[in-house]
Chain A
């Protein structure tokens, strides 16, 4: 009898220990990511986008089973649990009950996927870390800000098309741009010029480089349908500026990674829409070199490159 009691007691102790040490709700590492992102607000303010505040938008961390929605009020925040609003695994800005929210997979989930990807690509040393999660939060927050304040302008920028539907935009880019060798070659040539211009502080040099870029763009646009041009403008201006915010966040957190990853990829060419994230980021950096106050008036009604042309009187 005594022996049985000891066995039952051991079982109870084990169950209680497992329950007590378990992590229920949003993990500490995700809370830490959110706090780090909020802590970056002062640095992001320095970039100069008006009223662009992370705490204005709820951030929902999705673990696949639940969304943990963080809402800020003053210096504190609260976490609410709900059923996931998206049935896909994606970091995005999404409209929920009339307002935009950042939806992002939990760091654990994101690490799992990213690390599988990195293992496949051979990038074993760099696991998905907190800084990446923080900058992704800022990227999506920027989309929330764009959509909350400039939705109509964004809609006119992309000519009223719904490019996001069923991967339609992505397919169109691959088919019309990436599979056309002439268009691709001109893109690469243009990306090199943007890279040089983004790294250049001398305004006259920038003007020369952008003049060459404009010439290339005109040749390239002559080969593309107007809808595709609109799609490229959309990706470059909307995603490019969000990528710029993400890169600036990274510059404050990890300068080495900023140099290697963002500046290293500034002239990136890959099939699909990812390349426009970097060319758009390059255009934002060029604008910074021309007039750092451009962000106070830019309203996404026209492509970033047109703003550059205007600043240079081209």
Chain B
């Protein structure tokens, strides 16, 4: 736990967390100011029931990308600065060490998400939806599944892949996950090799869109599909297991 707290403190000291969160918050505020930043055919979308799930989806994408940014460097940096050596000689297993650093990534990711949800809270108040603020709590925990999933996955990839590849791959998986419904639709229509390829991609990409939709449903009083949330948790479990299996050579 000490390792996780130290790694988190470092992230807080470096201000990466704030810069990324404020940037994300600004993007979110820009869309949600009610001046019709989101418009279709020139008509501003102002209905809360339409706007809220769209903004929450944007929030989720920003949170997931932030999770990648915040998780990408933690493990490689420890090895490059030889801090890992100091820790590992104290009889701490690599698995525990990586797990602690991943927990730090998760905490940073959730903190960033919390800052974005604070911006969303202001949006709700501006839309006179104060009575529904409590809905933000379950929505936060549902969206957190995506953030935790991406943090664990990126941490795992950063153990054995060079930073650039781990980052690119993570962002690709985030994008594929966010547009999972579109890929599913394409898979239903497209046949042949492309169809098989899409089917394969759908197997190895977590359905972030499905999870996000449930958070949107909580906000707008819709029904929740527990199956999609459980699938998200299973993905976290799988990545956590892989995190434990992969070792990194000390330089």
Contact = CB atoms under 8 A, between A and B. Distances in A.
Q: Is the interface of A mostly helix, strand, loop or mixed?
A: helix
B244 to A, nearest CB: 9
Given A18-B227, A87-B191, 17 more contacts: A10-B237, A11-B237, A14-B237, A15-B234, A17-B230, A18-B230, A21-B226, A21-B230, A23-B227, A112-B184, A113-B185, A119-B40, A121-B41, A122-B40, A124-B45, A124-B50, A125-B50
Given A63-B188, A64-B188, A116-B185, A14 B230 contact: yes
16 contacts: A17-B230, A21-B230, A23-B227, A63-B188, A64-B187, A65-B188, A89-B188, A105-B188, A109-B185, A112-B184, A112-B185, A112-B188, A116-B182, A119-B40, A122-B43, A124-B40
A18 B238 CA distance: 13
Interface residues on A, range: 20 to 34
Interface string B34-56: 00000011010101001000000
A114 B33 CA distance: 29
Interface in B145-167: none
B187 to A, nearest CB: 7
Closest 3 pairs between A and B when the two form their complex, measured CB to CB: A64-B188, A122-B41, A21-B227
Nearest to A123: B40
A23 B231 CA distance: 12
Interface residues of B, number: 22
Interface in A1-19: 7, 10-11, 14-15, 17-18
Contact of A64 (B50, B181, B189): B189
B121 interface: no
Interface in A47-74: 63-65
A313 interface: no
Interface in B1-51: 40-41, 43, 45, 47, 50
Contacts of A164: none
A179 B16 CA distance: 60
B124 interface: no
A22 B233 contact: no
Nearest to A88: B189
Nearest to B190: A64
A308 B191 CA distance: 46
Contacts of A122: 40-41, 43
Interface string A15-36: 1011001110000000000000
B237 A22 contact: no
B241 interface: yes
A218 to B, nearest CB: 40
Nearest to A118: B40
B241 A11 contact: yes
Interface string A116-139: 100101101100000000000000
Contact of B47 (A109, A119, A125): A125
Contacts of A18: 227, 230-231, 234
A109 B188 contact: yes
Nearest to A119: B40
B233 A14 contact: yes
B189 A89 contact: yes
A71 B33 CA distance: 52
Interface in B221-245: 226-227, 230-231, 233-234, 237, 241
Nearest to A22: B227
Contacts of A121: 41
Contacts of A65: 188
A112 B40 CA distance: 18
Contacts of B189: 64, 89
Contacts of A109: 185, 188
Contacts of A105: 188
A127 to B, nearest CB: 10
Contacts of B187: 64
A15 B237 CA distance: 10
Residue in A18, A65, A113 with the greatest tally of chain B CB atoms within 10 Å:
A18
A113 B182 CA distance: 9
Contacts of A113: 185
Interface in A216-242: none
A10 B187 CA distance: 32
A96 B74 CA distance: 60
Contacts of B233: 14
B58 to A, nearest CB: 15
A14 B145 CA distance: 14
A64 B45 CA distance: 33
Contacts of B41: 121-122
Contacts of B241: 7, 11
